[in-house]
Amino acid sequence: MALRLTEIFFSLQGEASRAGLPTVFVRLTGCPLRCTWCDTTYSFTGGQPSSVEAVLAEVARYPARQVCVTGGEPLAQKECLALLTALCDAGYDVSLETSGALDIAGVDPRVSRIMDLKAPDSGECARNRWENLDCLTPRDEIKIVVASRADYEWAREQIRARQLDRLCPVLLSPAQGLVEPRALAEWILEDGLNVRFQLQLHKILWGNMQGK
């Protein structure tokens, strides 16, 4: 079965612990979720068929050891697992951005999984697959996008009740245009949460530009 590919591009990683590193992004097509604040809706449909070998050849054109497989929801494609393993075998430092709604247990253990938990204002909170928490290791990361004070309070409760920060690093991000970054930073400090506040570096540099 062929992969369905939206784009491959070279940019700076804008999120998580690898923020600022030159990275090749492999964006796969399709997503079963429809988060209210999604900024990559263009990846939901279309795309071009590709093979794992063709993706590897394209990635090799760029001078980076960091590769991020993203979407959409990359795990919605069965061939994604083979692609992740092939990238690791080729010597890349591989990360996967996933919604947290699909099973992550089959992902190659060499891959760093950046797994979302969907807060209520995303409209997809019911899709969180809580069993995935049992699969996480310290090399993985949990990301929660906060679109309101209520979202923040939900995130705070999940972090404390489920001790998420003991599983792996936890990242809180303000949804662009919905929460002031300074407000989120102040809430985190007021509550003394053991999390990393993050802004999307690529949006600061280039705005919401496709391929950046």
Which tens digit of pLDDT belongs to each residue from 114-130? 999 999 999 999 999 99
- List the chain domain ranges: 3-206
CATH entry, 3-206, from 3.40.50.720, 3.30.420.340, 3.20.20.70, 3.90.1150.10: 3.20.20.70
Q: Mean pLDDT, to the nearest integer, of 176-181?
A: 94
| Confidence (pTM) | 0.94
3-class secondary structure for 175-200?
CCCCCCHHHHHHHHHHHCCCCEECCC
Which tens digit of pLDDT belongs to each residue from 86-114? 999 999 999 999 999 999 999 999 999 99
What are φ and ψ of residue 124, in 5° steps?
A: -125, 20
- pLDDT confidence tier of residue 202, bands split at 50, 70 and 90: confident
- pLDDT confidence tier of residue 201, bands split at 50, 70 and 90: confident
Query: In this structure, are residues 62 and 21 in contact, taking their beta carbons and an 8 Å threshold?
Result: no
